[in-house]
Structure 1
Amino acid sequence: MKVRVGLIAVEDNIDFIAKVLGEYQEIIVVKINHTKEEELHSLMSEHENSVDVWLFSGYSPYIYATRIPTAHPLFYFEYSGSSLYKSLYLLLKEKGLNVNQMSFDTIKSEEIETVFKELKMSFDESRVIENIENLDKVVDHHKRLYENGDTVIALTCVWNIQQQLLELNIPVERITLAVSSIKATTNLLLRHMEMEKFKDTQIAVQMIEIDSLRNRNNYIDTSDELHHMEMRNVSDLLYYSKKINGSLKEIGPGRYAIFSTRGMMKNVTKDFTEKFSFKSAKSLNLDVVISGIGLGKTAYEAETNSLKALHNAQQRGVGSWYVHFQDKKIIGPLSSSQLTIMDSDQEKYKEISNQTSLSLNTIINIATAMKERDEDTFTANAMANALSIQPRSARRVLMLLEQAGFAEKNGEDQALKQGRPRKKYKIKFK
């Protein structure tokens, strides 16, 4: 599997990152240089069809890009303690600076504290600003500490902040990414893309219900005429089935099932948002078609879900298409300005979200991972893989779930011969 990675980075680190990514045989690097976040919209639009996933050199351009429409997932590199070590070494050893004379941004205070503890140095949290969504506030943070005489140099992970501080004649050092940080994010990215590819091979079943009598303005004189109309409908459905590499099965008067794959169904419905357009249809009119699409690991599961989706479409009325996913999420009606996402467990997940302060999306993703793994026990690493987040963020998720009573410690996993055993947590969403 070859993955085209759209690497969006600034000039001073794009070649370094691309070199590390080049070690992965699965990756084709598409280098996209930028200097200002305002450029991202045009750059991403220009390369939308030449990449499979976006990868940003930092959090600031990533958070800006989340507001830009794209069909591809987004990832960014996190600046960790290992990224800080190199810069600290140069400043402490070669320039003889005191760590208490420095201000920091981006890297989480607990990571900086861990680094300083290992170096047997004290640490003042007031010199760190973690939230960099507002770059002006970050610049003001460094500027205020410098002008008050609390610091003599700023350490930043953001190129734009470095440039602004240089214009203000404030000494600044850019923290560069550690190779280990680049590889950790890249491995998460590849696992995510592999999972998406696996999803595309899932079975999809589309139930279609047609009332042929509605499909004609003029009065039908004979049963032969009605029969010929239904034959033309079948011809149109066979054309549609061919477009999605599927097989058509008649399951009753005016009711049909098409067996295909999630990937093909996703393509023809434009990521499950629109009905397929029968442009060359001889007889079939989408306005009289009721349809339910079901997805699953097995044909039985997909067929069951398609019938549930069809039931939603029937309740909505003639011309409605709904999709029922394996994780119980339901989307519909397709091609409608009132397209909505529902979940049979939505209210339960909302309550868990409220009690844990975790986002509803995170709760749903955890529930989905439990169904896909057929397992309710996770280590921090397993949770990180399931949610495509860093292990430290996964530990926080598990901690919040445990505090609210939705997870409990369930033994330890000695995955490695060396190192501490990994705690296992049993998730309790039922």
Structure 2
Amino acid sequence: MSIRVGLIGVEDNLSWIKSIVDEYPEFQCLPLLHYYDEDVIELLKVHSHEVDLWLFSGIYPYTVAKEWGQIDKPMFYVPYTGTSLYRRLYQILYRHQFEVDELSFDALAEAGLRQIFDELAVPFHQNRLSKEYHSLEEVVDHHYHLWSSGQTKAAVTCAWQVQTELERLGVPVFRVTHTKSAVQSVLNMALRTYEMLHFKNRQIAVQMFEFDYLSHLTKSTYASDEIYNIEINITQRLLNYAKMVQGSLKSVGPGRFVIFTTRGALSEITREFTVIPEAAETGLITQGLVTCGIGIGQSAYDAEIRAGNAMLHALEHGKGNWMAAFEDKTFHGPLGKPESISYSYNSKEIKQVSEVTSLSPVTISKIYAIIKKMDKDEITAQELADQLRILPRSARRILTQLEKKGFAKEVGEETPHLRGRPRKIYRIDFKISKVWQKNDI
């Protein structure tokens, strides 16, 4: 196994980090030099097809890549550990005679820095640590402001570019460098992560399709030959689609087909199970005439069972929807729809709430996912009905049941129209312990 590592680093540590990467026979390193923030994005664009994962020499280029948001491969950066800082602090305190509270810092974990200050019995000044990683200019300004205003006498930085600029501005500056153990630690983590993802992508995936033939027929063409022609057409399109996902096609009855493939192939074409494929070869598949359930499993049997369950969940949202079911009993979908959510009924808390309310675990898990997606704990019956694709009276019945058992509380009303009926607003709280405590009193 040869894992292609794209190493993005600066002039003074790129070769050294590469020499450590080269000690691992599993890795094949592509060193890429950067000077400025914009260099990082350009390197990512140009070389993305040449690597399997990215390794950054520090948190600054890593943050640039993360905020760019266009990376679809694992990313890691080499952290600056306490050992690195202790070594540099020893030189600063004993060779250069600075006090610890006369220094400013960047790119270090606050918890680790606090611990060092506590061990040295020195007060920790929170404003001395830069937490802004959006640009190197902000970090330079942080150090320079503290020094020029007399609050500090020197800067401790983890970035070569910051060191260079501060030296130009006349600020006394000391550089914290990586330790070999820190590089080895992140490489070991990258290796484990890649192996896990590689194994995950090779899981068996099953797509179960159900076609609505009647949507293609008119009164004048409702004949067995016409239905047969439609089925032949659909089969051919599915064969093309199966080739795209490197899978095999199997017919399991009138209007029902199954494709066996791998998780990695489906993940790529559905953008991590978030959209329905838009490829032209799929034809009818993307026109809302087919319902699809995707199942992931360690065996073909497990994956097919989950695909069937996903199909049932998709049909709850109406024909033409796609849902995915995973090995942790999590469902996601409908793919590509605004109401798409991820929910699981496997947690202990959801089962407990289900037992108390007599509502199904699936319903409870969906409500939990909706609240999380909406990023608020207040909801109306109409909002719940829209998300669950049920009638408003059914949603009101669910909220009333939750209210009876202490998981929902009416907190207000809203009037959507001038003559409309006011809608009750409920606050949802699924903390089971609070309900038990209330019932025990």
Does TM, normalized by the shorter one, top 0.5? Answer: yes
Query: Are the aligned partners of 1:210 and 1:289 in contact in 2 as well (CA < 8 Å)?
Result: yes
When Rg is computed on C-alpha atoms for both structures, the one with the higher figure is: 2
Match of 1:368? none
Query: Are the aligned partners of 1:109 and 1:130 in contact in 2 as well (CA < 8 Å)?
Result: no
Closer, same or farther: CA 176–298 of 1 in aligned 2, 3 Å: same
Closer, same or farther: CA 28–224 of 1 in aligned 2, 3 Å: same
- Please show how residues 278-357 of structure 1 align to structure 2 within 5 Å: 279=280, 286-334=287-335, 336=336, 338=338, 340-344=340-344, 345=365
1:264 is the counterpart of 2:265: yes
Match for 2:167: what amino acid? L
Q: Deviations over 1:269-321 (max 9, x none)?
A: 34434444664579877442221111122333322321232234324444332
Match of 1:124? 123
Closer, same or farther: CA 169–218 of 1 in aligned 2, 3 Å: farther
Structure-2 separation of matches of 1:78 and 1:286: 48
Query: Are the aligned partners of 2:241 and 2:281 in contact in 1 as well (CA < 8 Å)?
Result: no
Closer, same or farther: CA 320–171 of 1 in aligned 2, 3 Å: same
Match for 2:103: what amino acid? M
SS of equivalent residue, structure 2 residue 125: helix
Match of 1:57? 57
Query: Are the aligned partners of 1:229 and 1:283 in contact in 2 as well (CA < 8 Å)?
Result: no
Query: Are the aligned partners of 1:310 and 1:321 in contact in 2 as well (CA < 8 Å)?
Result: yes
Closer, same or farther: CA 226–296 of 1 in aligned 2, 3 Å: same
Match of 1:414? none
Q: Deviations over 1:94-142 (max 9, x none)?
A: 5455545433222234424555677xx4433117405132555544443
Closer, same or farther: CA 284–217 of 1 in aligned 2, 3 Å: farther
Match of 1:359? none
Match of 2:88? 87
Deviation at 1:151, TM superposition (A): 4.0
The answer to which of 130-139 and 49-58 deviates more is 130-139
Q: Deviations over 1:296-355 (max 9, x none)?
A: 223333223212322343244443323223334444444x463734223466589999xx
1:4 is the counterpart of 2:7: no
Deviation at 1:58, TM superposition (A): 1.7
TM-score by length of 2: 0.69
Match for 1:14: what amino acid? L
Structure-1 separation of matches of 2:285 and 2:79: 52
- Please show how residues 5-404 of structure 1 align to structure 2 within 5 Å: 5-68=5-68, 69-95=70-96, 97-112=98-113, 114-115=115-116, 121-126=120-125, 128-133=128-133, 135=136, 138-147=139-148, 149=150, 151-216=152-217, 219-220=220-221, 222-276=223-277, 279=280, 286-334=287-335, 336=336, 338=338, 340-344=340-344, 345=365
SS of equivalent residue, structure 1 residue 107: coil
SS of equivalent residue, structure 1 residue 256: strand
Q: Deviations over 1:365-389 (max 9, x none)?
A: xxxxxxxxxxxxxxxxxxxxxxxxx
Query: Are the aligned partners of 2:311 and 2:322 in contact in 1 as well (CA < 8 Å)?
Result: yes
SS of equivalent residue, structure 2 residue 11: coil
Structure-2 separation of matches of 1:102 and 1:28: 39
The answer to which of 52-61 and 236-245 deviates more is 236-245
Closer, same or farther: CA 405–338 of 1 in aligned 2, 3 Å: closer
Query: Are the aligned partners of 2:277 and 2:286 in contact in 1 as well (CA < 8 Å)?
Result: no
Match for 1:262: what amino acid? R
Structure-1 separation of matches of 2:139 and 2:277: 48
Deviation at 1:175, TM superposition (A): 0.8
Query: Are the aligned partners of 2:157 and 2:176 in contact in 1 as well (CA < 8 Å)?
Result: yes
Structure-2 separation of matches of 1:156 and 1:198: 39
The answer to which of 55-64 and 186-195 deviates more is 55-64
Deviation at 1:256, TM superposition (A): 1.6
Structure-2 separation of matches of 1:282 and 1:156: 56
Structure 1 residues without counterparts, runs of 5 or longer: 354-403, 407-430
Structure-1 separation of matches of 2:107 and 2:165: 16
Query: Are the aligned partners of 1:82 and 1:181 in contact in 2 as well (CA < 8 Å)?
Result: no
Query: Are the aligned partners of 1:83 and 1:178 in contact in 2 as well (CA < 8 Å)?
Result: yes
Match of 1:367? none
**How many positions carry a matched residue from both structures?**
353
Match for 1:314: what amino acid? L
Q: Deviations over 1:208-267 (max 9, x none)?
A: 011223235684353234224323433433343344343333222211222221122223
Sequence identity (%): 36
Closer, same or farther: CA 340–280 of 1 in aligned 2, 3 Å: closer
TM-score by length of 1: 0.71
Closer, same or farther: CA 175–347 of 1 in aligned 2, 3 Å: farther
Closer, same or farther: CA 330–160 of 1 in aligned 2, 3 Å: farther
Match for 2:48: what amino acid? E
Closer, same or farther: CA 347–28 of 1 in aligned 2, 3 Å: farther
Closer, same or farther: CA 347–179 of 1 in aligned 2, 3 Å: farther
Structure-1 separation of matches of 2:238 and 2:137: 58
Structure-1 separation of matches of 2:212 and 2:432: 51
Closer, same or farther: CA 282–59 of 1 in aligned 2, 3 Å: closer
Structure-2 separation of matches of 1:289 and 1:75: 40
Q: CA RMSD in A?
A: 3.4
Structure-1 separation of matches of 2:139 and 2:262: 48
Structure-2 separation of matches of 1:140 and 1:24: 39
SS of equivalent residue, structure 1 residue 220: coil
Structure-2 separation of matches of 1:151 and 1:282: 66
Closer, same or farther: CA 40–278 of 1 in aligned 2, 3 Å: closer
Structure 2 residues without counterparts, runs of 5 or longer: 345-364, 374-430, 434-441
Closer, same or farther: CA 8–283 of 1 in aligned 2, 3 Å: closer
